[in-house]
Structure 1
């Protein structure tokens, strides 16, 4: 499943899934609906803040792979036995997720006090390549287990 609202690697996901004969399921809010839905399955949910996350949490199963940049969603999915990969190609790990959640909390606390950080660096070709490599590795491991 893909948290598709702001995912910059949708085309890559479709291509890699075709290669490994895996189904790509994109979940997005109606606010992000697009006209070209070819080559993949799309599910659209309400535009409320957490609707995509809730859909994914309620429909994912242990052993699934989810692509998301949402650290909070990733932390709940890891507990369900799901492999979670960011669009930048970072595989979320249970032993590292608490640090990421703590950093997110500290940043949110600073923003409430009016202190704003620069934000994430722009998505680049290195991120895209890392994602393609990592996603391919994950799907090839699943292919080897079938």
Structure 2
């Protein structure tokens, strides 16, 4: 008997994510399950397509859970650059809340810039302020996630056809 097609799952690094509701809305339009992963503080959803996972306290507990569960073709929403790199290594598609996709071609520079900025903050050369999240970021995210969801679904359908 044929296995049903597995649609991509959207995993959200949810603790400080400013686009949780937007993710649910876009994923819902595409019929994709959303898994919100956090250390706590997120209320369960009544939506059957949204699962809330609470992981133990710890610096990388949510990241580790997402990496353990994500498969090639799934989508990971995160601003955490090391998590983005780990998810890309598993073949997941990765999107920042600002709408910027992380790719295998861009992740090396993103990690290098993160490390440089951390060093500059530690030495006092720069302050540790990140730009605030804007309406423009939210709009860019909505468009980018919609595109990424369509790509992920298309890839899953093509993979299913080649399995015969």
**Partners of 1:72 and 1:113 in 2: how far apart?**
22
Post-superposition offset of 1:111:
2.0
Task: After TM superposition, list the pairs within 5 Å mapping 1:53-68 onto structure 2.
Answer: 53-68=63-78
Match of 1:35 among 28, 34, 43: 43
What SS class does the counterpart of residue 33 from structure 2 fall into? coil
Could you tell me which residue of structure 1 aligns to residue 62 of structure 2? 52
Post-superposition offset of 1:142:
3.0
1:91-124 deviation per Cα after TM superposition (whole angstroms, max 9, x unaligned): 1011111111111111111222233335221111
Instruction: Give unmatched runs, 5+ long, in structure 2.
Output: 1-10, 158-164
Instruction: Give unmatched runs, 5+ long, in structure 1.
Output: none
Post-superposition offset of 1:136:
0.5
Match of 2:32 among 9, 22, 46: 22
**Partners of 1:11 and 1:75 in 2: how far apart?**
24
Q: TM-score, normalised by structure 2?
A: 0.82
**Partners of 2:102 and 2:43 in 1: how far apart?**
31
**Partners of 1:112 and 1:118 in 2: how far apart?**
9
Match of 1:70 among 80, 98, 111: 80
**Partners of 2:90 and 2:106 in 1: how far apart?**
16
Query: Which structure dedicates a bigger proportion of its chain to helix?
Result: 1
Post-superposition offset of 1:73:
0.8
What SS class does the counterpart of residue 38 from structure 2 fall into? strand
How many residue pairs were aligned? 144
Contact 2:44 2:51 in 1 (8 A): no
